[in-house]
Structure 1
Amino acid sequence: MTTMARSLQDKLSALDPERRAHIEAEADRLHGELLTLRELRKAKELTQVQLAEMLGVQQATVAKYERQGDLLLSTLRSYVGAMGGTLKLTVEFPGREPVTLEGLGDTEDPVRRRRAAGGGPDNGARN
């Protein structure tokens, strides 16, 4: 039995047009996310070398972050924080107000952080 290698274009061409359009739209969306970190850094008029120094990493690491599509939240928080920004993660559900998640990517327990900020003791409730 022989197997022929197929290109991505061959595989996409074999899909129904609606499925192909969905895949191409998702690829465009992901590509836009990959450009976002680089554009954010450039908007702050920073080079990769400068940002790497601020983060305490090598320039190659910053380049990797900018190419990578799946960063840890703690890495993204550090990247944004080094430029003076704050990372906020908002969850939206249909028919409900958006909810901002706290503590994701932090190395500190959110309950301890709230207590330190005067948010009162934890009542042990879990939702």
Structure 2
Amino acid sequence: MKNILFAGILVFSFSLFGQNNKDVSYLKIKQNSCIKKKGDFLTFKEVLSDSRCPVGVNCVWAGEIKVVITVYLDKKIIKEETLTISETDSQKNIAWFSQYLRADNRNIQNIEVFPYPKEGVKIKSKNYYIRIAYVK
């Protein structure tokens, strides 16, 4: 009994040391809005497809959402990029966004597209936005 109690206390104490109090902030990119950075900026142009598994539905896979991001430099389009936002493309997308964000916003934790689909509810195109979580 003492061994079980000791093991429980040991596991609990390690879990306390594993806690991380990071100061997470968020950037929100709405459609046709931008994040400015010294003459260049990003716009969330459109959603091409949204195959994410809706809340309330059991799916075989989580799905993905494809979006188009436009990069401007001095009011001129320099690149349009189609990104697939999913668990499998997470690191690639973090690297892509990091090259266009200010240095203090580059420690990106995750990228999500909202709103998340719900069973039987159609999402209007104008309601989509991208949320980038980063640690200061």
| TM superposition score normalised by structure 1 | 0.23
More helix by share: 1
Larger CA Rg, structure 1 vs 2: 1
